Structure 1
Amino acid sequence: MNRTVALRFAACGLMGIGAALLIAALLLSTYTKGKISKIPLDIDTTLVGEGTGTAFDPASLVATKFVVDRDVPLVMQQEISVEAPANADVVTLQVGDTLRRTDKQQDNGLMLAMVDTVTLDRKTALAVSSDTNPGGAVQKPRSIEDESPPTNVALPHEGLSYRFPFDTEKKTYPFFDPIAQKAYDANYEGEEDVNGLNTYRFTQNVGYDGDDKLVDPVKYASLYDNDEDSQVTARAELWGLPADDPADPITMDRFYAAQRTFWVDPVSGTIVKKEEHGYHYYARDPLKPEVTFVDYNLTSDEETVESQVASARAEGDTVGLWGRILPITFTALGLLALVGGALLGAFTLRAESALIDPGLDDSDHGFFGRRSAEDSGPMPAAEAKTEKLPTQRPSDLPPDRPV
């Protein structure tokens, strides 16, 4: 194999590599990115929010009057894990929520408790359901003495739950509230830096309007068979209400409203920080609260924010590597390989032409550096063309000339 043939193969090889790199870049930026931009299947985390509020004292249930304490320390804990079904298309999150008074011990400080389960589409983060899976459920409360296995009550979810989709947009999303058992709008409000991470801020109102006014509270949906925590009948003196007879029974319903702010990583959809104002109260008129059960303002603690930011960065780095960095790198290398192959191919063709027909390598081509006919100035002697004169044979000499 001569040198020109080898160069021709090298040129073809470079162009083939370039084309392959460009195809790989296209696949990485479209198909592969879509495959990895999904909710992880290994979520196992605990999120904590801390703050203060007004809260009912459970010990006062056996007293002569219900007691509501102000400025009590409160903490909300949210444990998130993955349950079946969880596969390439969907993931099921089981979330245990508790709200406690930290100034009380054990069950005396427990204000709220719920176990919520929801199945989400791993790409859109929207709740999904099927004939065998209603898309969500809540666990019925059990007493400490109850040793029977937990029972779930089907609760179809709508919209988003516990996170936003990959490539979160600056728009309004429906976000499910498991206490209200309904999805409410989470509205985009702007961008904000959280621990060095650029986030989108969303706000949600449940029962409140944009001016923080109570307008449409939700009647609390009890998970007990006898609705014992959603409707309470007690003597007027227990409620602390004036009455002709302190023993007159008064029935009140429990209502709920909330306001939330989410800080969301737009790449992965991870909620890195949350502020929540929740209000549970008893009243005879929904818009006229009479006895507060709990009214709290909580913010994600620093450890939770740091953990969520790190998780968001890790998911974002994976997407960025396969969806942006590698495609750009492969595109650049592919273009360089194509250009290099084309130039090498052109050089090989010119070289082959010169070897096949040396006459092509004259002043018309200038491939090997010969001067063209248009060049001005005298030609150096080394490059000047010479004319050969015929050599005379002896027989051609005149007869009178000696040999």
Structure 2
Amino acid sequence: MALRANTRTTVACLLVGLGALLVVAAIMVPFYTVGRLAKTPLDLEITTIATNAPNTPSEVMDAKSLTTGDGPVKIDTNAHLISQRYLTVEDPSGADSMTVQAGQTLRRIDVQGDTGLLTATIDRVTIDRKTGFPIDADDNGTIALQVNTKGQSVAETVRHTGLQYRFPIGTEKTSYPFFDINVRKSYDMKFVEETQINDLKVYHFRQEVPVTDLSKVANSATNKVAVDASKWGVEGDGLVTMNRFYGNTRDVWIEPQTGTIVKGQEQLNVFYARDAAKPEVTALKATLVMDDKTVNSQISTAKHFMDELSLYGRIIPIICGVLGLILLVAGVLLGMTHRPAVARDPLR
């Protein structure tokens, strides 16, 4: 009888101890595990593709016609465009920050070979893994627009100041500064609405990048061009110098829990002029939107990250908490039902 009592007491203590451990785990897991999960993964490798939006203008200057031939510059309409970006994580990267590199090209797919390449850039920025914002350093990023005689990209140190490739974990319905690599400045990305894409809740944001003189941003031969007036198709004789201007209306759709950019769209307006308020020659006018394959891939990435956050932030804590309480109650009840045996008087 004494052995049974001791066994019951031991089991009760084990149940109470295990139950208490599970309850503590239910409380601590969200703080420690989710805190580590709620950061941008270091194994990012993302390819995104954007093409012409249906039923929108798509005008592109034929750059060769600006310097060759007898007639004025030629503007091709209904150009078929594709913008491709390949994003990877590079060194230095660690527990709290990571360096993101994005190589991006914009090309025409209705012409052959390299003649279809319109722009090519390599952007690097070191960001906070949780907020998505660049780290506070003057050398937190570079932008490469040109190549040297060996065909190697020439990077220029550029201080990045806003979000670009991800939004904060737990994106809110507010405005965020968003960095534009063309003007090398940040403008507010304003919350527009909450909506859904393929049954996934997303936040829609919009940014207006004002028309900017690119010759004052980067020293590039294409940003200030002097050719004969007849080539520009304007009145007058002799050389006429025009600057390249750029404006953009950018829309992004964000999965708020993870900060994943599910969908993106840009309304590009690039032109040559002597006055920003008076566009004279179109260089590029098009609306580019991420294709369905890219959107579906981004949704899959967001849902995977959401499932991990849900597993460690809610499901495991609930299971641990419920099992812990059951074991605690069972242990207490088992201990309370134990009564010490009363010795009998042999003379009775």
Same fold (TM over 0.5): yes
Aligned to 2:229: 236
Asked whether the equivalents of residues 140 and 224 of structure 1 are also in contact (C-alpha less than 8 Å), the reply is: no
Work out the CA distance in 2 between the residues paired with 1:142 and 1:222.
20
Does 2:259 align with 1:269? Answer: yes
Work out the CA distance in 2 between the residues paired with 1:357 and 1:255.
101
CA shift in 2, pair 1:311/1:222, >3 Å = farther
Letter in 2 for 1:60: S
Question: Where does 1:298-317 land on structure 2 (aligned, <5 Å)?
Answer: 298-317=288-307
CA shift in 2, pair 1:281/1:173, >3 Å = same
Work out the CA distance in 1 between the residues paired with 2:216 and 2:302.
35
Give 5+ residue unaligned stretches, structure 1: 208-216, 359-403
Task: Give the C-alpha shift of residue 224 in structure 1.
Answer: 6.7
> Structure 1 residue runs of 4+, over 4 Å off?
221-225
Asked whether the equivalents of residues 78 and 98 of structure 1 are also in contact (C-alpha less than 8 Å), the reply is: yes
Asked whether the equivalents of residues 207 and 251 of structure 2 are also in contact (C-alpha less than 8 Å), the reply is: yes
Does 2:199 align with 1:196? Answer: yes
Task: Give the C-alpha shift of residue 106 in structure 1.
Answer: 2.3
Does 2:288 align with 1:294? Answer: no
Which of these residues, 63, 80, 83, is aligned with residue 69 of structure 2?
63
Asked whether the equivalents of residues 276 and 299 of structure 1 are also in contact (C-alpha less than 8 Å), the reply is: yes
Task: Give the C-alpha shift of residue 151 in structure 1.
Answer: 2.4
Work out the CA distance in 1 between the residues paired with 2:216 and 2:307.
43
Task: Specify which structure has the bigger relative contact order, considering alpha-carbon pairs within 8 angstroms and separated by 6 or more residues.
Answer: 2
Does 2:183 align with 1:180? Answer: yes
Aligned to 2:14: 13
Question: Where does 1:2-151 land on structure 2 (aligned, <5 Å)?
Answer: 2-51=3-52, 53-61=58-66, 62-64=68-70, 65-130=72-137, 134-142=139-147, 146-147=149-150, 149-151=152-154
CA shift in 2, pair 1:202/1:187, >3 Å = same
Letter in 1 for 2:134: A
Work out the CA distance in 1 between the residues paired with 2:288 and 2:137.
35
Which of these residues, 153, 156, 159, is aligned with residue 162 of structure 2?
159
Work out the CA distance in 2 between the residues paired with 1:148 and 1:114.
13
Work out the CA distance in 2 between the residues paired with 1:9 and 1:79.
60
Task: Give the C-alpha shift of residue 305 in structure 1.
Answer: 0.9
Task: Give the C-alpha shift of residue 179 in structure 1.
Answer: 0.8
Question: Where does 1:368-379 land on structure 2 (aligned, <5 Å)?
Answer: none
CA shift in 2, pair 1:221/1:162, >3 Å = farther
SS in 1 for 2:130: coil
CA RMSD of aligned residues (A): 1.9
Letter in 2 for 1:311: T
Aligned to 2:334: 344
Q: How many residues align?
A: 338
Work out the CA distance in 1 between the residues paired with 2:69 and 2:330.
89
Task: Give the C-alpha shift of residue 54 in structure 1.
Answer: 0.8
Work out the CA distance in 2 between the residues paired with 1:99 and 1:17.
60
Task: Give the C-alpha shift of residue 264 in structure 1.
Answer: 1.0
Please report the TM-score for the alignment, with normalisation by the length of structure 1. 0.80
Aligned to 1:367: none
Task: Give the C-alpha shift of residue 287 in structure 1.
Answer: 1.6
Task: Give the C-alpha shift of residue 130 in structure 1.
Answer: 4.1
Task: Give the C-alpha shift of residue 177 in structure 1.
Answer: 0.8
Post-superposition Cα deviations, 1:40-60, rounded to whole Å, max 9, x if no partner, equal 111112100010611101231
Letter in 2 for 1:63: G
Does 2:214 align with 1:220? Answer: yes
Work out the CA distance in 1 between the residues paired with 2:42 and 2:166.
14
Which of these residues, 349, 352, 356, is aligned with residue 342 of structure 2?
356
SS in 1 for 2:235: coil
SS in 2 for 1:42: coil
Aligned to 2:321: 331
CA shift in 2, pair 1:257/1:289, >3 Å = same
Post-superposition Cα deviations, 1:84-125, rounded to whole Å, max 9, x if no partner, equal 111111111111111111111222212221111011111111
CA shift in 2, pair 1:59/1:148, >3 Å = closer
Give 5+ residue unaligned stretches, structure 2: none
Letter in 1 for 2:48: L
Letter in 1 for 2:313: G
Please report the TM-score for the alignment, with normalisation by the length of structure 2. 0.92
Asked whether the equivalents of residues 111 and 294 of structure 1 are also in contact (C-alpha less than 8 Å), the reply is: no
Asked whether the equivalents of residues 141 and 224 of structure 1 are also in contact (C-alpha less than 8 Å), the reply is: no
Asked whether the equivalents of residues 91 and 121 of structure 1 are also in contact (C-alpha less than 8 Å), the reply is: yes
Post-superposition Cα deviations, 1:214-257, rounded to whole Å, max 9, x if no partner, equal xxx112157875x31111111110100022x3xx2211111111
Structure with a larger share of its residues in strand: 2
SS in 2 for 1:356: coil
Task: Give the C-alpha shift of residue 356 in structure 1.
Answer: 3.3
